[in-house]
Every structure is written in structure tokens, then in C-alpha cells.
Amino acid sequence: MPDSTNNSSSARFVDGSILAGLLAAVRSHRPLVHHITNSVTINDCANITISAGAAPVMAEAPEEVAEMVSAAGALVLNIGTLSQGQVDAMLIAGRRANVLGIPVILDPVGAGATRFRTETAWRLLDSLDVAVLKGNAGEIGVLAGTGGSVRGVDSGGIAGDPVETVRECARATGTVVAMTGPVDVVAEDRRVFLVGNGNPMMDRLSGTGCMAASVTGAFAAIADDYAVSSAAALAAFGLAGERAAAGARGPYSFRTALFDELSVLTPGDLAEHARLEGPHGV
């Protein structure tokens, strides 16, 4: 891929044309994003996928997931309302996706809250070639082995430096890691990206983390650099959140506006207003 940085200042920023091209590709190709996800946010995940420009399918019956994922551009696995049958379906779909070269995005919701969730997250990471691990600070801290606090499915934070935590998780899991927070951090073995887009209102609405994973899947479906595509996806989602919050009276009007703002976000908007710094550490 072409050089994606601009060195006109001391900070390095991803070239806006790269970001614009990724969003334009999602909109033009409209990839199918197969979700095996949780029952709390499934409708929001489907609709935010549409707002991003992709097409969702929410199939989780073990009898059909291998066939369904074969038609998809990406697979999003979310362990928010976990059951053993769902784990079985995730493994079937994930293995088929790996055979076909379809990127797998794992959202380890609540990892660290219970043994079942934590062991399932590691089982999926050990059994599948995961392209992107997307989680909050507590979940990523737990999987990095550096310590993280999780209360239910909500993050209680981490004690250490966020960038180093994400880097350590990327090293431990061998995948691209995207950690959401006040500043989103995306890292792989040698590169780190920082995403400054977003609004505190996003923390007041259940499911925004799950929706972020869906948007990440939409971008991964049309990309071959999953670190850049994940950072671009989080920038687009965060920018939509900023714009939605500007006119929202509270979390529920914000929710509706979030879908609207992402759906009308243009490649030019993303190129101009993304606050995406990196790569660092090259």
C-alpha cells in the first residue's frame, strides 16, 4: 500500500485520501458482514452496518453458519450474551472464514468478568486466525495479561499505559488489537495508531462498543491492512458520534442521530475531519 503518513508536523497523521478511499470502497462494494453476536445489541449492530455502507446478516445456527460466512466479506464474533451453542457456531464459522481468507473480528465482551467469558475469548483466539481483536480497556488489559477491570460487560479501566497495554496484547495474541476509549488505540506488532474522534455521549449508550466492532468488520471486508482499516473505521464511527452529539438532547436522541450521521458521512468528511495519528513505532 502507498505511504499513508504525512510528516508536515511533528505528529504523523494517516493521509486523508487513504481514509476516504476505504469509506468509498465500503460504500461501493457493500460487503456482507456476517455477525454472530449478542441479543442485546443485535439490531443496533445490523443497522450501524447498513449506516456504514455494508450489509449485515445475523446467522448463528451451527447448521448454517459455514455456508453463510462463505458469502461474506467479514465475520464479526461478539461474546456479549454467550452460550455454548453460540461458541460452537463461532468456531464453525471462524474456521470456514479462515479457509476462505475472510477476516474475523472478535469482540471479547466482558472478558475478565467470568471464567467462561475469559476462557471463551482465549479459545477463539487460540483456535482461529483473528484479524482484529476489538475491545474496551478492561477486556484488552485482561487479555494482554497486564491487568484490567471489568464489571459485567463494562470496562473498569487499566492501571498501566494504554498504548503499551495494546502493544502487549497484540504481541500476546498475534493479531491487530483495537482498544476503544477516550482515545482509541490500534496496534499490531510494529505500528500504533491513535484515534481522537468520538464524544463522551457514546459511553452513555449501551452497545456502542458492539457497533464499533460492526463498523470495523465493514472496513476490514474491503481492506488488506487491518490496522489501517480498523483505525479508519473507529475514526468514522467516532466522527459520526461527534456530529450526533452536537444536536442530541440525551442518549436516545443521540442513538438515532448516530445512525443518521454515519449514513451521511462522506469520504471527504472523513478525510478532512478524522483525527488519526500514526503510525508510531515503525
- 3-state DSSP assignment of residue 206: coil
pLDDT tens sequence across 29-50:
999 999 999 999 999 999 999 9
Q: Please identify which residue in the block is written with the cell numbers 482498544.
A: 179
At what angle are helices 84-100 and 115-127 packed, to 10 degrees? Answer: 20
CA distances from 130 to 91, 105, 173, 217, 246 (A): 11, 6, 9, 12, 36
Counting every residue written for the chain, the total comes to 282
Of 61, 65, 74, 76, the C-alpha closest to 109 is 76
CB-based burial label for 45 (10 Å; 0-12, 13-18, 19+) = buried
Q: Is 207 annotated as a binding residue?
A: yes
pLDDT at 154 over 50: no
Q: Would you place residue 129 in the very low, low, confident or very high pLDDT band (cuts 50, 70, 90)? A: very high
Question: Which H or E element spans position 151?
Answer: strand 149-151
* Assigned C-alpha cell, 259: 445512525
pLDDT tens sequence across 210-220:
999 999 999 99
Mean pLDDT of 9-26: 84
Q: What pLDDT does residue 3 have?
A: 36
pTM: 0.92
Q: What pLDDT does residue 82 have?
A: 94
Query: Using CA atoms, how far apart are residues 5 and 19, in angstroms rounded to an integer?
Result: 11
Q: Is 179 annotated as a binding residue?
A: no
Mean pLDDT of 260-281: 95
Mean pLDDT of 232-241: 98
**Which residues, at least 6 apart from 68, have a Cβ–Cβ distance to it below 8 Å?**
34, 57, 59, 93
pLDDT at 151 over 80: no
Sorted by where each starts, the structural domains of the chain and their CATH numbers stand as 5-280 (3.40.1190.20)
Q: Would you place residue 1 in the very low, low, confident or very high pLDDT band (cuts 50, 70, 90)? A: very low
pLDDT tens sequence across 77-95:
999 999 999 999 999 999 9
Q: What pLDDT does residue 13 have?
A: 78
